[in-house]
Structure 1
Amino acid sequence: MTLTIVAAGRVTQAFICFLLCLSWGSSCPPSCQCTERAGAKAVLCSAQHLEEIPKDIPQDAVFLKLDANSITRIPSNAFRHLSHLEELDLSRNAIEKIDGAAFKGVAAGLRTLDLSSNRIRSIPKEALLMLNAKLRLANNPWHCECTLQEVLWEARLDPDSVQDITCHTAPREEYVGKPLLQVLDAGVNFCSVRQRTTDVAMFITMFGWFAMVIAYVVCYVRHNREDTRKHVEYLKSLPNTQNPAETISTVL
């Protein structure tokens, strides 16, 4: 009888745990709507005045829309638990910063990532190059430099929006306001500019070290000469008991 009660209690606990896990896995954030699209869960959080990414997004979400909010940053591992995610829309927010591991955990299955119409000036290369998703990066105040150029060359960009990746700022004023693709097609290579800058900095550093070594050698020689002169003068001031030249040669 006691064993039966214990067994029944364990079954009840397991069933309650199952219900809680099922409820947690399929829950929906209060500011979002969760629907089914072709048998896949879609989480719709558009235009909800969100300032950060909700932390209770269902794990089985396949489509996630967070567009038209006030999100300013995508922190590391923000979507790590969403292993089924295929489409992610973060357009029309106020995103300024994206961490290098922002999309860690969704790289394998993510097919579309929309970051257009934000406030992104630069983005860590590792945050995007690990993705196989088609990227939309248009209408951001981009600073055109080597990292953005490498993203353009190596990432999968949406061909319909690539012309709208415009240089808001750039190393040279003549590039400002122009599409990045147009600037690169004209033969500009931002990475070579950075390499030349690095080479110049290295040359200046090496020259500085060389100048320090020369200065040290000169000071060392001068110091030794002064010590030798003082020593010779001291010897000359001694009583002249023998030939000064012999005394000096003997001491040396």
Structure 2
Amino acid sequence: MSRSLTLVLLLLLFPPSSPRAAALWRRGNRVSSINACQQTEEADGGLTVRCSGLRLTQIPAGLSNHTTRLFLNNNRISSLPAFCFSDLFLLDELDLSHNQLSSLEPGCFSGLAPSLRYLDLSSNRLTTLDPAVLGGLQVQANLSQNPWHCNCSMQISVPQLDVEKSSLEKVVCFSSDLPNLGAVGLPLVSLMQDWDLCRSVRRTTDFLTLTTMFLWFIMLIFYLIYYIRHNEVFARRHLEYLRFLESRDPFRPR
């Protein structure tokens, strides 16, 4: 029985609004996407899988554990869930360029550290590097053409990565917490040689804190002055009222 006929029968058995039917339909689409990929067996027995330009929104299911090279470039993948490549323990090259990746969950590259040597994450929407994501990957990584946000967090994360140093030179600042430093357009590693982003941020934060405290102190002084003057006026009026009552007292001896 063909896969499409099977899916039709499943939809007849389960209403389209059924969660189980929806899950089966998504699974059917994921499995069918691997059939559209081009698979080539290499001389060493490895498998090259090309799923380029298929408008995929997630990693296709059913990838062979003999896959050594996987091309998922030019798709619409926006995130990588944990353990999505855990069965590909022979994977040597992974191309995820020209997608819509904006987040990488910790553990998404779990199991690839022993084999993976080249990782292409260029031309995506990544803004930060998390050591929990790339930690342990000793790879040559293409990290160019991403809107990296250079800040204290990035400065702390970069030294913890095991990727080749030449890969980090492609982390070019698209934005920064300190735009006045002229960081935009500079590689993060070059920026870190001249500036301590964390110290600069702390100085900026300390200055703002002191300014805020000073303004609150000034407001408190003005409030105390107003409170004292208001009470003086109130006390004076009360005293004058008492004198007025005393002057009108018919029983007061004259």
Place the TM-score, normalised by the shorter chain, in its bin: 0.5 to 0.7
How far 1:227 sits from its partner (Å)? 1.8
8 Å CA contact 2:129–2:158 kept in 1: the answer is no
Offset from partner CA, 1:146-197 (integer Å, 9 cap, x none): 2332232111122343333333445246444333322323x22222222222
Say which SS state the counterpart of residue 52 (structure 2) adopts. coil
Instruction: Call closer, same or farther: CA 1:132–1:229 in 2, change over 3 Å.
Output: same
Aligned to 1:178: 186
| Aligned partner letter, 2:195 | V
How many residue pairs end up in the alignment?
211
The two structures, once aligned, show a CA RMSD in angstroms of 3.7
Aligned to 2:207: 200
Work out which of the residue numbers 164, 167, 183 in structure 1 matches 2:170. 164
Offset from partner CA, 1:31-75 (integer Å, 9 cap, x none): 3356777777x5724413334223524495765624322335215
Say which SS state the counterpart of residue 53 (structure 1) adopts. coil
Aligned to 1:236: 243
Work out which of the residue numbers 146, 150, 153 in structure 2 matches 1:147. 153
8 Å CA contact 1:116–1:138 kept in 2: the answer is yes
8 Å CA contact 2:128–2:149 kept in 1: the answer is no
Instruction: Call closer, same or farther: CA 1:33–1:96 in 2, change over 3 Å.
Output: closer
The answer to whether 1:80 aligns with 2:83 is: yes
8 Å CA contact 1:98–1:124 kept in 2: the answer is no
Q: Separation in 2 of the partners of 1:105 and 1:178?
A: 28
Summarize the alignment of residues 1-252 of structure 1 with structure 2, pairs less than 5 Å apart: 29-33=34-38, 44-54=49-59, 56-58=61-63, 63=68, 65-71=70-76, 73-74=78-79, 78-80=81-83, 82-86=85-89, 87=91, 89-99=94-104, 102-104=105-107, 106-107=109-110, 109-111=112-114, 112=116, 114-120=119-125, 122-123=127-128, 125=130, 127-128=132-133, 131-134=135-138, 136-141=141-146, 142-170=148-176, 171-172=179-180, 174-185=182-193, 187-240=194-247
Instruction: Call closer, same or farther: CA 1:220–1:196 in 2, change over 3 Å.
Output: same
Q: Please list every run of 5 or more consecutive structure 2 residues that lacks an aligned counterpart in the other structure.
A: 1-27
8 Å CA contact 1:167–1:175 kept in 2: the answer is yes
Q: Separation in 1 of the partners of 2:51 and 2:169?
A: 26
TM-score after normalising by structure 1? 0.64
8 Å CA contact 1:31–1:45 kept in 2: the answer is no
Q: Separation in 2 of the partners of 1:181 and 1:239?
A: 84
| Aligned partner letter, 1:71 | R
Q: Separation in 2 of the partners of 1:184 and 1:163?
A: 11
Q: Give aligned-pair identity as a percent.
A: 22
Return the index of the structure with the highest Cα Rg: 1
Say which SS state the counterpart of residue 238 (structure 1) adopts. helix
